[in-house]
Structure 1
Amino acid sequence: MPKVPLPLVLGRGLVARVAADAHGSRAGAWAWCNSLGYAGRQGAAAERAVVPAGQLYHVPGGADPLAVVAMAHPAATAYLVTFGRLLPGETVLVAGGGGNVGGALIELTAAAGARNLTTAAAADVGRCRGLGAA
């Protein structure tokens, strides 16, 4: 069984105000991160979290911070479409298309011109088809 540091703080994504000026981030500015809670890092479900500077992203001025983090985490995960060099006409399998990340992946693969096969609960089939799943 893997060793888990205690106390353990769960959670990958966060949106919060920066507590102190550091590495180009200004105190009071809104920022987001989606890479906590794994690889030995404590998670984001805490009053305060330490985020490595290279994994902290600024929320654009005028953007709703909650909308940014709700969209950014699944879109960043689904951005693998670009890294995988998906081509039009290729077929992609999305496991769990009814979820937030799976839904974003369906939309991105459909926009790239790929045929999308998706697994989902029966209640989510209509939503998945509406997003572009075959």
Structure 2
Amino acid sequence: MLQVQLAVAADPVEVGRARRWVRAQVLAFGADPGAPFAETLVLVVSELVTNAVVHTGRPAALRLSWPPDPAAPLRVEVADASGTAPAPRHAAASATNGRGLELVELLCARWGWYPQGSGKLVWCELDRAPLADGGSAREHGMLTA
């Protein structure tokens, strides 16, 4: 199991840095950065890091666990110092935010959270296998440009 970690400052610009870091990790692990799971991984990390730094205003730690078995899911963890539980919302169609955890729930095999010290750890597991018909999440209307 390969594990890597990135310290994330309490600044919204860190979300973009986290996305770039994840893309670099996909390459470092020898995977295709254009693969459907890689696009989904970047989106999920973006949503979880956004929640951690924007909604808590505190630094966070982003961890990726990459099993050598391609059939095993990737695990993403974001730990922050806020004890507030993550609460999925169902945003109105006209809303410009509020869909982060809903996307995580839709795109990941599993997700959850647990208290950790005075804060929490939010985790999700993402399958690397393509969708049953070989398409990507974008092709299925789950992601937009």
TM-score (norm 1): 0.29
More strand, by proportion: 2
Of structures 1 and 2, the one scoring higher in RCO (CA 8 A, sep 6+) is 2
Larger of the two Rg values belongs to structure:
1
